[in-house]
Structure 1
Amino acid sequence: MIKIVGIGPTRKDMTFRAFEAIKDADVIIGYKKYVDRIRDIIEGKEIIEKGMREEIRRAEIAIKKHREGKNVALISSGDPGIFGMANVFFHLIDKYSNIEVEIIPGVTAANYAASLLGAPLHDFTVISLSDILTPLSEIKRKVENAVTAGFVIVFYNPKGKKRKKPLIEALKIIRRHLSPEIPVGVVKGGKVGITTLQRLDVDDIDMSTLLIIGNPTTYLREGYMITPRGYALRYFIHPLAREYYEKYINGEIKEGPNLECEYYPCHFMGQDCTFCYCPFYPCGDGSTGGYWIKDKGVWSCQECEWIHEKKTVKCLKKTLDNIIKDVEDLNKKKRELLKLRRHCIYETRLM
Structure 2
Amino acid sequence: MLYIVGLGSGERYLTKEAEEILNNVDLIVCYKGYKKYIEKFNKPTYTSGMTKEIDRVEKALSEAKNKDVALVSTGDPNVYGLASLAYELNYIKNYNVKIKVIPGITACLLAASILGSPLHDFVVISFSDLLTPLDKILKRFKLALEGDYVICIYNPLSKRRKEPFLKAVEIMREFNKNYIIGIVKNAGRENEEKRITDFKDLYKNLNEYLEYIDMNTIIIIGNSETYVIDNKMITPRGYLNKYKVIPCYKK
TM-score, reference length from structure 2: 0.90
Note if contact 2:180-2:222 (Cα within 8 Å) is conserved in structure 1: yes
From 208, 218, 232, the equivalent of 1:224 is: 232
| Separation (CA, whole Å) in 2 of partners of 1:3 and 1:225 | 36
Of structures 1 and 2, the one scoring higher in RCO (CA 8 A, sep 6+) is 2
Note if contact 1:143-1:174 (Cα within 8 Å) is conserved in structure 2: no
Secondary structure at 2:201 match in 1: coil
Instruction: Note if 1:206 corresponds to 2:204.
Output: no
What corresponds to 2:84 in structure 1?
87
Secondary structure at 1:113 match in 2: helix
User: How far 1:92 moved relative to its partner?
Assistant: 0.9
- Aligned-residue CA RMSD (Å): 1.6
User: How far 1:93 moved relative to its partner?
Assistant: 2.4
Cα deviation digits, residues 42-69 of structure 1 (max 9, x gap): x1x21111111211111000011112x1
After superposing on structure 2, the runs of 4+ consecutive aligned residues of structure 1 that deviate more than 4 Å are 232-235
Secondary structure at 1:195 match in 2: strand
What corresponds to 1:26 in structure 2?
26
User: How far 1:90 moved relative to its partner?
Assistant: 1.9
Secondary structure at 2:156 match in 1: coil
| Separation (CA, whole Å) in 2 of partners of 1:50 and 1:198 | 42
Secondary structure at 1:91 match in 2: helix
What corresponds to 2:205 in structure 1?
none
From 42, 45, 48, the equivalent of 2:46 is: 48
Alignment length, in residue pairs? 239
Cα deviation digits, residues 148-198 of structure 1 (max 9, x gap): 000001110111221000011111112221523x21111111211111112
The structure with the largest strand share of the pair is: 2
| Separation (CA, whole Å) in 2 of partners of 1:90 and 1:160 | 29
Q: Structure 2: 5+ residue runs without aligned partners? A: 187-191, 203-208
Secondary structure at 1:203 match in 2: helix
User: How far 1:282 moved relative to its partner?
Assistant: 3.6
1:95-134 equivalent positions in 2, closer than 5 A = 95-134=93-132
User: How far 1:232 moved relative to its partner?
Assistant: 4.9
What corresponds to 1:196 in structure 2?
198
What corresponds to 2:71 in structure 1?
74
| Separation (CA, whole Å) in 2 of partners of 1:93 and 1:54 | 17
Q: Structure 1: 5+ residue runs without aligned partners? A: 236-280, 285-289, 292-302, 305-351
What corresponds to 2:39 in structure 1?
39
1:251-330 equivalent positions in 2, closer than 5 A = 282-284=245-247, 291=249
Task: Please identify the structure whose Cα radius of gyration is greater.
Answer: 1
